Chains A and B, each alone.
Chain A
């Protein structure tokens, strides 16, 4: 059971907007910034969003992040087939003194 809670699956059609949630507690999301990773099978995970809403160079602005209280959200607009992947939130946990992962959300593009 993961410290951070994500829905196991999400789906959308091309062009749609999809949001993936990440719920935590005061010791992690409530007091630290949220990061998001995209993981395609057979590849290394890729950093999508850091510090709640910052995109690394090369990440399209279709990807955006937000945080409120002890929850965070990753939004993907203009959904494309290549966005089909697993998405993970990652946050520092002050109680565990380490990085914790959400359980992951499998995004399907219908």
Chain B
């Protein structure tokens, strides 16, 4: 059974860079698509972007200028970096797996990141 686990700081200062890592167990990261999704408090789910290790990452146009998603096959991990954060980036961040047809079939439990000084 594939399992995903997000890790990273729960508190980030405004204007700094949010960095999260998703560790994948029970399967290889060298196949499938790997995504980041977030949910701000009281709002709906939003796709941040995805990556496949053979392809370039693809990002939500509204976040594209600030987002980088990368994959480390040696550690079976993929990562999210979101620069110049503001309070609007406060959210629960999820990592998830997709197969290209089913967008997200396995999810991490989510991690709350708060942007505050």
Q: Could you list which residues of chain A lie within 8 angstroms of chain B, going by C-beta atoms?
A: 2, 33, 35, 37, 39, 43-45, 47, 50-51, 56, 86, 88, 90, 92, 96-104
State A51–B49 Cα separation when bound (angstroms). Answer: 21
* Count of chain A to chain B residue pairs whose CB atoms are closer than 8 Å in the complex: 55
Q: Could you list which residues of chain B lie within 8 angstroms of chain A, going by C-beta atoms?
A: 35, 44-47, 49-50, 58-61, 94, 98, 101-105, 107-110
State A86–B104 Cα separation when bound (angstroms). Answer: 16
Pick from A43, A44, A50, A99: contact of B50, CB below 8 A. Answer: A99
Besides A44-B108, A96-B60, A101-B45, 6 more A-B contacts (Cβ < 8 Å) are A2-B44, A97-B58, A98-B47, A99-B35, A103-B44, A104-B44
Question: Would you call the interface of chain A mostly helix, strand, loop, or mixed?
Answer: strand
Pick from A39, A43, A56, A92: contact of B45, CB below 8 A. Answer: A39
**Interface contact A99-B107, CB-CB below 8 Å:** no
